[in-house]
Amino acid sequence: MTGDEVDELTPEEERALRRSCTRFLAWHGNRTAASYLEELPEDTDTDLYGEGGVVAELEAEVAALFGKPSAVFMPSGTMAQQTTLRVHADRRGLRTVLFHPHCHLDHHEERGYERLHGLHGRPVGEFERLISVDDLESVHEEPAALLLELPQRDLGGQLPAWEDLVAQVEWARARGAAVHMDGARLWGCGPFYERSLAEIAELFDTVYVSFYKQLGGLPGACVAGPEDVVAEVREWRRRHGGTLYGMWPNAGSALNVLRMRLPRIADYRRHALAVADAVRDLPGVDVVPDPPHTTMMHLVLYRPADALRSAALRMAREDGIWTWARFYPTGAPGAQRVELETGDATLELPPEEVRVVIEGLLRE
Is pLDDT above 80 for 25?
A: yes
Question: In sequence order, which residues have a C-beta less than 8 Å from that of residue 339 and are 6 or more positions away?
Answer: 26, 153, 156, 296, 297, 298
* Residues 282 and 236 reside in one and the same domain: no
| Domain end residue (candidates: 210, 244, 261) | 261
| Domain end residue (candidates: 261, 281, 298) | 261
* Residues 12 and 40 reside in one and the same domain: no
pLDDT value at residue 3: 45
pLDDT digit string (tens) for 106-161?
Answer: 999 999 999 999 999 999 999 999 999 999 999 999 999 999 999 999 999 999 99
Percent of the chain, pLDDT > 90? 97
* Residues 207 and 317 reside in one and the same domain: no
Largest Cα–Cα separation, the chain: 64
The domain that holds 89 is classified in CATH as 3.40.640.10
> For residue 7, what pLDDT band results from cuts at 50, 70 and 90?
low
Give me the chain's average pLDDT, please: 96
Question: In sequence order, which residues have a C-beta less than 8 Å from that of residue 296 and are 6 or more positions away?
Answer: 151, 153, 156, 157, 185, 188, 214, 272, 339, 340, 341, 342
Query: Which residues form the domain of 294?
Result: 3-32+264-362
Question: Using an 8 Å Cβ cutoff, are 192 and 294 in contact?
Answer: yes
* Residues 170 and 209 reside in one and the same domain: yes
> For residue 212, what pLDDT band results from cuts at 50, 70 and 90?
very high
pLDDT digit string (tens) for 231-263?
Answer: 999 999 999 999 999 999 999 999 999 999 999
Stretch 178-197: mean pLDDT: 98
* Residues 273 and 209 reside in one and the same domain: no
* Residues 311 and 323 reside in one and the same domain: yes
* Residues 271 and 223 reside in one and the same domain: no
pLDDT digit string (tens) for 62-115?
Answer: 999 999 999 999 999 999 999 999 999 999 999 999 999 999 999 999 999 999
* Residues 268 and 351 reside in one and the same domain: yes
Domain count, the chain: 2
* Residues 125 and 138 reside in one and the same domain: yes
Q: What count of residues does the chain have?
A: 364
Stretch 298-326: mean pLDDT: 97
Is pLDDT above 70 for 208?
A: yes
